[in-house]
Amino acid sequence: MPSPSSRFLWRATVFVLAPLFALSVATPAMAESPPNRIVSGWIPYWMSSQSNPAGVITATANSDLFVDVSPFWYSATKKGSGIKVDFNANYGKSAANSSWALAQLRAAGIPVLPSIADASGAKTMANFLADPANRSAHVADIVNIVVANNYDGIDLDYEKFAFSDGRSSWDSTQPIWTAFVQELGTALHAQGKQLAATIPSPCSMSGICSARTGYYVYNMIGIAPFVDRIRIMAYDYSYSGAGPIAPYNWVRSMVQYSASVIDPAKVQIGVPTYGRFWSEKKSGGAYKLNGICPKSSSSGAEKSAYKSLIARGSMTEVDIPAFISKQGGAAQWDDTNKEYFFRYNKTVNWTDSNGAAQSCTAEKVMWFLGSEGVLVRTQLVGEFGINAAAYWTVGGDNPNQWPLIRSYAQSLAPVVPQVRVEAPPSVVFGQPAALTTSAFYNDAPIINAAAVLQRSDSGAWVDVASGVTGADGAVGIPFALDVSSTLRIVIRATDTTPEVVSAEFPMAVSATVTARAKTKKVKRGKKIKVGTVVRPGVAEQKVILQVKRGDKWKKVTAAKTKANGRIVIKKKAKFKKGKYTFRVFAKPKLGVGAGVSSPFKIRIK
């Protein structure tokens, strides 16, 4: 809306060439502030190729939410007497596909820390790293890969210690692993690269957490100083038998404990974006099978039918809705575990040893988080101030989760103060003007705050005028300028609000032009003389005497001002007899915009 003080923009003797309307500017962050980055995760190699880019597409589509991402590209495998890190053998066209994926992720602004999986076999990695020379070689191998490919870092996913080597080996493996992480972290940091370590739960299945509970071989507290991220795989609570994948209270205990013993900013909590299914069992342990069913002790086709009935497996969340729809029925929400479960039947037709056709139905159950379950675990990021939620997998997730995650991430974004300025696009030299500014914090007006108008002067900001905001957060600030300037408003900090600075905005200063005919009547053929004063006074400023012809102004003659801005414009009157309307137009010069005088009349006799 127009400035309430726009009436001050010109005098009776002066017209401002710029239109008299208000210019509105705001703080640079007046638009919705970006969401907090609260997401990480792993992209499987089979979702990071040009033929199957699901993981890359998901990450880049939500790039403003990602702290980093780890494509699952590398394996550490036994090579002779050593261990070598190379692309996973199953990753087809690995060089071309990884280069393509890296370019996409990098263009989206997501730091890339590829994962290395330990595929060396039981106890192989632990035994190899026990030798300091081998450790150094392994460190060098990894650093070379990171530097050569210009990755942002690397993620270690060395799970053999936990799931293959046996608990009895942990006490001897722990210091070896810790030394390796320290050496690798030091080497990567020297190159400006990052190190992430992916580890299983540091807590027991009952949610008891300490330095000796859970998979303590990974020494979370001990390695924390040498890594940039510790990603905790807070899933597969139920694996062999049916049950929740990541019970909420179990996950929460991990986050609470981890954030209390290491820097929370290094903690990423793993969140599963898949479901697991099992055949349900009776209280005695037998499977719930109905009909004429194959026996577990059978062989051949009958054995295959039995295995099909009792098989357990997994399914990505993106595929679960269609699966449930096909089966019929609906999933139910378990509010304690904050997961969904879905019961369904699987029927297998088989042929018995007599050649007779038979049919057996297994009672099955699937557990999965769903978009809501993913959200509530991601919300632990804000509750405990940790770095991110790390999704396994990125690309296998249900697309419906992303609006929920984005809304939550937006809620964590810092409150953005707002400053609006309504100002004229130009002012006249030497004449008072005014603008209005209004300030808000968290949508409430900022009251009783000093509002300072500043102009840029050789790289510094100089105070021009000020006022104090009222109950509505607004204040009118009178001011005057002598040269076109870049301006801004600063709302000073109060006891409850921070200092706020508006966007910068230009303000043109137009020249003041006063023109007066020496005589109001001039004989034809005699000289018209017009005394002219331009402010600010500038030598050699061009001024043009104009006459009105219809609705247009036509040039009569031009002159240049003296150093004091004064000049008498002279021109022989060649007009026909009559009364004519004149004005003087001053062209812009030295940071002062054009100006024009009030019109005046001269009679030609």
- The CA-based angle 118-119-123, given to 5 degrees, is 75
- pLDDT at residue 29 in the model: 44
Q: Are 76 and 83 in contact (CB under 8 A)?
A: yes
Q: Does the pLDDT value for residue 74 go beyond 70?
A: yes
Helix (H, G, I), strand (E, B) or coil at 456: strand
78 sits in which H/E element? strand 70-79
Quick one: average pLDDT of 225-253? 98
Quick one: average pLDDT of 16-30? 44
| 31: confidence class by pLDDT, cuts 50, 70, 90 | very low
pLDDT > 70: percent of the chain: 95
- pLDDT at residue 15 in the model: 28
Q: Does the pLDDT value for residue 470 go beyond 50?
A: yes
Helix (H, G, I), strand (E, B) or coil at 323: helix
CA distances from 567 to 13, 428, 513 (A): 17, 20, 11
d(CA 275, CA 258): 26
pLDDT tens profile 431-466: 899 999 999 988 899 999 999 999 999 889 999 999
Q: Does the pLDDT value for residue 117 go beyond 70?
A: yes
Helix (H, G, I), strand (E, B) or coil at 174: helix
Number of Cβ within 10 Å of residue 551's Cβ equals 5
d(CA 405, CA 398): 12
Structural domains present in the chain: 6-32+416-510 (2.60.40.2470), 39-273+369-412 (3.20.20.80), 287-368 (no CATH), 512-604 (2.20.130.20)
d(CA 541, CA 529): 18
- 239 φψ region: left (φ > 0), alpha (ψ -120 to 50), beta (else): alpha
Quick one: average pLDDT of 49-66? 98
- pLDDT at residue 19 in the model: 32
b/e per residue, 510-548, with b = 16+ CB within 10 A?
Answer: bbbbbbebeeeebeeeeebebebbbbbebeebebbbbbe
Quick one: average pLDDT of 121-149? 98
The larger pLDDT score, comparing residue 588 to residue 119, is at 119
Q: Are 129 and 175 in contact (CB under 8 A)?
A: no
| 30: confidence class by pLDDT, cuts 50, 70, 90 | very low
- pLDDT at residue 7 in the model: 24
pLDDT > 90: percent of the chain: 86
Q: Does the pLDDT value for residue 20 go beyond 70?
A: no
Q: Does the pLDDT value for residue 317 go beyond 60?
A: yes
pLDDT tens profile 473-499: 999 999 999 888 999 999 999 988 889
Taking the CA atoms of residue 41, residue 47, residue 49 and residue 55 in that order, the dihedral angle to the nearest 10 degrees is -50
| Average pLDDT of the residues of the chain | 93
**How many residues are there in the chain?**
605
- pLDDT at residue 27 in the model: 54
Q: Does the pLDDT value for residue 239 go beyond 80?
A: yes
Q: Are 212 and 204 in contact (CB under 8 A)?
A: no
| 13: confidence class by pLDDT, cuts 50, 70, 90 | very low
Amino acid identity, residue 215? Answer: Y
Three-state secondary structure string covering 413-434: CCCCCEEEEEECCEEECCCCEE
Q: Does the pLDDT value for residue 17 go beyond 50?
A: no
pLDDT tens profile 408-424: 999 998 777 889 999 99
pTM equals 0.71
Quick one: average pLDDT of 28-49? 85
| 25: confidence class by pLDDT, cuts 50, 70, 90 | low
pLDDT tens profile 535-581: 988 899 999 999 999 999 999 999 999 999 999 999 999 999 999 99
The larger pLDDT score, comparing residue 107 to residue 28, is at 107
- pLDDT at residue 21 in the model: 40
